């Protein structure tokens, strides 16, 4: 099955590698956004099957973006996976307490990113 994924990350390289990986390896459609505000607008416009959301971004960070997604009825039910370089257990607990579906860590393996997303979300 083909999925539509929204990647929200302020780093061009991360967006590009993740997009290429999910498109070429998994055959998924990818929509990209370089900021939290842009990501919110794209989520409303495109209604992705899942969102891969960077934690550390200037302006509106990942947790704030996540709360805004949950506060909007048209995006409230979209599964969100955080993407972060923060691997400390206190950070992981804080992210889990937000209510996200999962946390993926940078750097990620482009060849297995799609399977990590699918496994976390229970996709076949």
CATH, residue 10: 3.40.50.2300
Range of the domain at 97: 4-117
Beta-strand ranges (E) seen in 2-124 are 4-8, 29-33, 50-54, 80-84, 102-105
Q: What is the pLDDT of residues 49-100, one digit of tens each?
A: 999 999 999 999 999 999 999 999 999 999 999 998 866 666 667 777 788 9
The answer to whether the beta carbons of residues 43 and 73 sit under 8 Å apart is no
Residue 123 lies in a domain: no
The pLDDT tens digits of the residues spanning 90-124 come to 666 777 778 899 999 899 999 999 999 999 999 98
In a domain, 29, yes or no: yes
pLDDT given for residue 85 in this prediction: 85
Number of domains in the chain: 1
List % helix, strand, coil for the chain (3-state, nearest 5): 45, 20, 40
Is the model more confident about 97 or about 24? 24
The predicted structure's pLDDT at residue 82? 94
| Contact partners, residue 18, CB within 8 Å, separation at least 6 | 7, 9, 30, 52, 83, 108, 110, 113
Structural domain includes residue 124: no
């Amino acid at each position: 099955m083909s999925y539509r994924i929204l990647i929200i990350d302020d780093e061009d390289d991360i967006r590009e590698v993740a997009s290429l990986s999910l498109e070429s390896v998994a055959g998924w459609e990818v929509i990209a956004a370089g900021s939290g505000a842009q990501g919110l607008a794209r989520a409303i416009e495109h209604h992705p099957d899942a969102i891969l959301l960077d934690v550390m971004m200037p302006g509106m960070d990942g947790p704030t973006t996540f709360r805004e997604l949950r506060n909007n009825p048209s995006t409230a039910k979209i599964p969100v996976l955080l993407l972060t370089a923060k691997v400390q257990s206190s950070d992981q607990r804080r992210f889990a307490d937000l209510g996200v579906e999962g946390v993926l860590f940078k750097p990620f393996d482009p060849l297995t990113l799609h399977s990590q997303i699918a496994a976390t979300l229970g996709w076949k």
